[in-house]
Structure 1
Amino acid sequence: MNAQAAKSVGIVGFGKMGQIRAQALEEDGRATVVKIFDPLPIDAPKYPVAASAQEIINDPEIGSIFICGVNDANMPLTQAALRAGKHVFCEKPPAFNAAQVREIMEVERACGKVLMYGFNHRHHGGVRKMKDVIASGVYGRVLWMRGRYGKSVDENYLHTWRADSARAGGGILLDQGIHMLDLFLHMGDVPFDEVHAFVSSRYWNIPGIEDNVFAIMRNRDTGIEVSFHSTMTQWRHLFSLEVFLERGYLVLNGLKTSSGTYGEEQLSIAKNRSIAPAACWENEEKLHFRVDTSWRSEAEHFMDAVTLGMPVTYGTSEQALEVMSLIDRIYENDHRIGDDLHEKLQVVGE
C-alpha cells in the first residue's frame, strides 16, 4: 500500500468518538474520510455511509480504518482490518484482557501494518509537560505517584451498552481507569509487578460492571509506588495526577475536554523544600492548558506513521499489552471481587 492509499480512511463506529476522530483527521489535513459506518442511524451524514463494517474492511480504496465502536468489537474488527491489509487505529480498550492483546499482536506481526491505540491522555498538554520534566532528570527519579479519575453517572447509564458486561468487558476500570493506569506506566517507565486492589459495585449493582476500584501498586526493582482510585460514584467529574520525585513534584489537576466537566487543566511544578514549612504554594510554577489539542496530536501521530513511516511511540500494541496486563492483575488481586467478574476474566482468557 502506498502513502496515498493510506490517506483514504474508513471509520467504523460514528458516535461521539468517531465524529471526534473525523474532525481531528480533517484538522491534520492529510487524510480523507471516504466512508463511515454505525449500527445506529446517522443523522445528516457528512460522509458516505457503508452498509456494514465489513464493507469498509473489504473496500480496496480504503487504506486506513478507525475503529470507534463498542468495546467487544475492538478485537475482532482490528484483526479483520489488519488481515485485509489496512492500517488500524482502535479506541481503548484493545481487548478484554492481556491474552487477547497477544492474539492481536500475532496478527499485527504477520500483516506488517500500522496498529495504534487511542490513549489520547498521553497527548494532553499538561501530561506532555510532565513527561518532559521527568525525562529531563532535573528533579531526579520518580519516588511515587497518585492518581484519581472519576465521574458521575445517572440512571441513563443503565440503559447503555456500557452497563452490559458482555459488550463493555468491565466497568469504570476499562472506561476511565485504563487511561490513568496508562499514564502511570508512561510516567514511571516501569511495570508494576506488585498489586493489591479492591474492586466493587455497591451502588449501581450491575453484574460484571464495577463502579469503584482502589489499588496500590509497586515496582519491586525501582520501588516506585502508586495509589490509584477510579470511580463512577464520585458525583462530580475529577482528574488528578501527582508525581513526586527526589527533588520536586508535578501535580496535574483538571483535564481540558470539550465538555469542560473536568475543569481547567492546571499543572503545578515545584522543587522540594527542606526547610519548614514545606508547603509554600507561592513557590509553585503553575501552567495552564486552555485548549485540548490531544485529538489533533493523536491523529497527527497516526498519520505520521502511515504516510511517513515514522514509528508509533504512543499507543503501541506493546503499551496496550502492558496496561491490560496491569488490569488483569487488579481484577485477579481483589479478594472481594464478585464471582461474575472472576468468571468473566476466566472465560475470555481461555
Structure 2
Amino acid sequence: MAYNVGIIGFGKMGQIRAQSLAEDGRATVRQVYDVSPPPKCEFPVAASAQEIIDNPAINIVFICATNEVNKPLTIAALRAGKHVFCEKPPAFTGDDVREIMEAERASDRVLMYGFNHRHHAGVMKMKQVIDSGAYGRVLWMRGRYGKSVDGDYLKTWRADRERAGGGILLDQGIHMLDLFLHITGKPFDDVHAFVSSRYWKIPGIEDNVFAIMRNADGVEVSFHSTMTQWRHLFSLEVFMERGYLVLNGLKTSSGSYGEEELTIARNRATAPAANFASEERLHYATDTSWAREAEHFMDAVALGMPVTYGNSAQALNVMSLIDRIYTHGHAVAPDLHEKLQMVRARG
C-alpha cells in the first residue's frame, strides 16, 4: 500500500518529520501547509490545513502546528479517516484529550503523539536497566529541564496564552513529566507545585514550575521546569534500591544541552556507598530519536503494531498530571489561575 503524507505546519518540526519519514522510506510527503511556507519548498503547498485533511490521496496527516490547533486538527483528520501523528502538547487539558480519544475510537486509525524523548538512546538504556530489575525498585527521581529565552520570545506565538495554552510546562516540561510516567508506569496522585512568572511576567505563560509528586508505589519525584535557566540544562536522575542512573545532557541538533552522558552505578560498590571510580559512563553522540519515532509510527500504520510510545492513553496521563500541577501551582495566585483556566477552557 502507498502511504501518502500531508504535513500541517512546515516550520522546523515539520521539516524534521519530513526528513525522518524519508529516512524510514515507507511513506511519501505529498503536500504541506504552513502560514509562512519556506521560500523554496520542495513539496506542493496547500492553501489551507483543511485542504490536506480533505485530500483523498493523503492517508497520513502530521500536525506540526501551533498548540491551539492540535486538538481540532487531530479530531478533523481522524474523522476524515486519516492516520495522525501530532506534536505535543496533544491539547490544553486532560478533558480535551478524552474528546480526542472518542474520535480515535470511532475512526479505527493510528494516533500517535510526538514524545521523542522516550526514543533518545540514553533514555532507552535507562528504561532497559530499570525494567531488568537488576538494581531493584525505583525509590525516587529528580528531573530538571530548563532553557534560556530572550526578548524575541515575547514576539512569538508561545508568549500568547490563547495560542500556547501555557508556558514552559507545556513547551518543554511536558517531556520530563512524560519520562517520569514512562519510567514508573504509574500516575502521580499526590502533587504539590509552585507555578510562577516572576521574570517575564506574561499572564498565563509561566516561566518556572517547581513540583514534588508521589505515586501509589511511594515513588517520590522532584521536578523543575524553567525558561530562566541561563545555561540550557537537561538532567534526569533515577535512584533505586541497589544503584542509580543519571542522564545529563541531551543530544539535539542545536547542541544546546551538551553531550548526552548516562552514568550507571551500584550503591554498594565500595562501602558505605558508591564512588565516582565505580561509575560506568555511556556517551551518545548522535540524536536518533526522530528516526526511531518515525519508524515506530510507520510500524503501527503499515504493520499494525501497537503504539507503545506516544499513544493517546499516555497523552491523557501526562495532560492529567499537568492539570494537577496547574491547579495546585496557581493556588497561590487565584486571579492568574482563573484567567488561565478560562483560556484553557476556550482552547
TM-score of the aligned structures, taking structure 1 as reference length? 0.96
| 2:20 pairs with 1:21 | no
1:141 to 127, 137, 141: 137
Aligned partner of 2:244 in structure 1 is 249
In terms of mean alpha carbon deviation, does 83-92 or 42-51 score higher? 42-51
User: Which of the numbers 287, 292, 301 marks the counterpart of 2:287?
Assistant: 292
- Aligned-partner residue type, residue 268 of structure 2: R
**Cα separation, 2, equivalents of 1:63 and 1:337:** 46
Task: Give the structure 2 partner of residue 225 of structure 1.
Answer: 220
Aligned partners of 1:171 and 1:190: how far apart in 2?
Answer: 25
The CA deviation string for residues 54-95 of structure 1, in whole angstroms up to 9 with x for no partner, is: 000000000000000000000000000000000000000000
> Does the Cα contact within 8 Å between 1:200 and 1:336 map onto a contact in 2?
no
Superposed displacement of residue 278, structure 1 = 2.4
Distance 1:341 1:36 in 2: 37
Secondary structure of 2:146's counterpart equals strand
- Measure, in 2, the Cα distance between the counterparts of 1:345 and 1:273: 48
Partner of 1:263: 258
Range that drifts further, 225-234 or 336-345: 336-345
Task: Check the 8 A contact 1:170/1:208 in 2, yes or no.
Answer: yes
- Cross-structure match for 2:229: 234
Counterparts of 1:40-51 in structure 2, within 5 Å, are: 40-51=36-47
Opposite residue 130 of structure 1, the aligned amino acid is M
1:208 corresponds to 2:210: no
Conserved? CA contact 1:331–1:337, under 8 Å: no
SS in 2 for 1:223: coil
Distance 1:340 1:307 in 2: 46
Q: Note the C-alpha offset of 1:277.
A: 5.5
Match of 2:164 in 1: 168
Matched-pair contact (CA < 8 Å) for 2:111–2:312: yes
CA offsets per residue over residues 18-47 of structure 1, 9 Å max, x none? 000000001111110000000113220011
Q: Does 1:114 align with 2:110?
A: yes
Secondary structure in 1 aligned to 2:188? coil
Whether 2:175 is the aligned partner of 1:183: answer no
- Give the partner amino acid of 1:260: G
Residues 116-155 of structure 1 deviation map (CA, whole Å, 9 limit, x = unaligned): 0000000000000000000100001100000000000000
Q: Considering only aligned residues, what root-mean-square deviation do their CA atoms show, in Å?
A: 1.2
1:61-76 correspondence to structure 2 within 5 Å = 61-76=57-72
SS of match in other structure, 1:51: coil
In structure 2, the residue matched to 1:101 is: 97
Letter in 2 for 1:253: N
| Contact map agreement 1:332 1:342 (CA 8 A) in 2 | no
1:318 matched to 2:323? The reply is: no
Unaligned residue ranges in structure 2 (runs of 5+): none
Offset of 1:346 from its aligned partner? 4.8
SS across alignment from 1:299: helix
Tell me whether 37-46 or 256-265 shows the greater mean CA deviation: 37-46
Tell me the matched-pair count: 345
User: Which residue does the alignment assign to 1:308?
Assistant: 303
Give the aligned residue type for 2:314: Q
TM-score normalised to the size of structure 2?
0.97
Secondary structure of the 2:340 match is helix
Query: Which residue in 2 is equivalent to 1:126?
Result: 122
Label 1:205 to 1:338 Cα distance change in 2 as closer, same or farther (>3 A). Answer: farther
**What residue identity is the alignment partner of 1:341?**
H
With 38-47 and 321-330 compared, the bigger mean Cα shift is at 38-47
